[in-house]
Structure 1
């Protein structure tokens, strides 16, 4: 049997670093054509690890950017089989320190972005009768770390969005799922660690939250 992803076109938002980059590289290993949408970056940054990579500028907070991105993917490849809504951001502030702009900024990236990406990709998936949408949620959609009120709210929203999409799109042959990472050693989380005066202490405490005794890595940990 051939690889099930061979020749499939997979879009990964925020795919130029961290978890998104690891996802893009793994999809390429599975012989998918990978289109990374991100604010910054270029294909050369991946070297030879993702030979089928296409990088396109994408700002998930702007509907016009999303429409242009999807149109360009369809122009080049004629289809979109997989959408991974990975782009995300976090702020580390108590509720009284947060501004309305902080709140709106997180909602725009973490929740409105996946909604708009699905909105413009779904019609193409529906035409083909198949498709997969994977939203990157978080364990913080269920439990919350200090100073993450807004972030947790967005990720709980992502979980609800996925449930709604799964119900609505299942009859069209489109599968929708959420992946909920724990603490991953990526740029998104490093700022949180830097806020603590004793970083080694918080790293040990975070490691103890995981059954394997360590935080995760964007890609598989070498044996």
Structure 2
């Protein structure tokens, strides 16, 4: 249960993709730092367990559904008494060559990784304005900065999310609404574990990063905390790579 103390001191925040991986790590850290949370995920049972442990409001939905997002954000604002921040961590990944990327696959990447954050941000905007300002943190990917073969659909969706976030920063700064984007590299999460064995993942990370190891979800969460909290009050429109140096190595 969140306390009214800590670096987020009772702030009201909605986090998507909160049932596992990076989204769950963000939710857990934000709760420890005093945030009151509404948590979104499509996996209802896992979401319910995480929300119960954190004293958060669970909202099981498909982030690419306009009607579901509109209703859920309204419920979150109603239950929490408003919204001060949003973190979009929901996303999907799969490496597929362009020749094998059919239209439905392309649309699925765009719908979840780009349209979902757009819908969440648009629905949350009136509540952030009513609060007198707020924060938006979108979780993009190293694939937006350094795409790899087989990532045409994924890189397009995450690259779009990165540009979308910067556009929000430019548009909303005069309303005291800050928007920043995090680009994680190889992180211990369900996505990475679905691609490699643990030993293979560590070997790939060691070869591709200047910090020769994989990252932890908690390290991405710490960056999201910084970008949501008062310490980053003069930071907006920034892209923060949490990738062990992979984007330049």
Instruction: Using structure 1 for the length normalisation, give the TM-score.
Output: 0.89
Equivalent of residue 142 in structure 1, options 142, 145, 162: 145
Instruction: Using structure 2 for the length normalisation, give the TM-score.
Output: 0.80
* Unpaired stretches in structure 2, ≥5 consecutive residues: 220-249
CA RMSD of aligned residues (A): 1.7
Matching residue of 2:102: 99
Matching residue of 1:217: 216
List structure 1 segments (4+ residues) > 3 angstroms apart after TM superposition. 45-48, 199-203
Matching residue of 1:44: 49
Distance of 1:80 and 1:45 partners within structure 2: 20
8 Å CA contact 1:43, 1:53 repeated in 2: no
Equivalent of residue 177 in structure 1, options 152, 176, 180: 180
1:204 aligns with 2:203: yes
Distance of 1:47 and 1:37 partners within structure 2: 13
Distance of 1:153 and 1:53 partners within structure 2: 33
Distance of 2:47 and 2:204 partners within structure 1: 36
- Number of matched residues? 213
SS in 2 for 1:34: strand
Matching residue of 1:10: 13
Q: Deviations over 1:60-102 (max 9, x none)?
A: 1100000110111122122011100110001221111111100
Structure 1 residues 140 and 56: alpha-carbon distance in aligned structure 2, compared to 1, 3 A threshold: same
How far is 1:193 from its partner? Answer: 2.1
Matching residue of 1:26: 29
8 Å CA contact 2:41, 2:47 repeated in 1: no
How far is 1:212 from its partner? Answer: 1.9
Of 32-41 and 172-181, deviating more is 32-41
* Unpaired stretches in structure 1, ≥5 consecutive residues: none
Equivalent of residue 60 in structure 1, options 58, 63, 70: 63
Distance of 2:17 and 2:49 partners within structure 1: 16
Q: Deviations over 1:30-82 (max 9, x none)?
A: 0101111011133334664x2x3221112111000001101111221220111
Higher relative contact order (CA 8 A, sep 6+): 2
How far is 1:207 from its partner? Answer: 2.3
SS in 1 for 2:86: strand
How far is 1:126 from its partner? Answer: 1.0
Distance of 1:47 and 1:68 partners within structure 2: 21
SS in 1 for 2:184: coil
1:127 aligns with 2:130: yes
How far is 1:139 from its partner? Answer: 1.2
Structure 1 residues 125 and 46: alpha-carbon distance in aligned structure 2, compared to 1, 3 A threshold: closer
8 Å CA contact 1:137, 1:159 repeated in 2: yes
Structure 1 residues 152 and 204: alpha-carbon distance in aligned structure 2, compared to 1, 3 A threshold: same
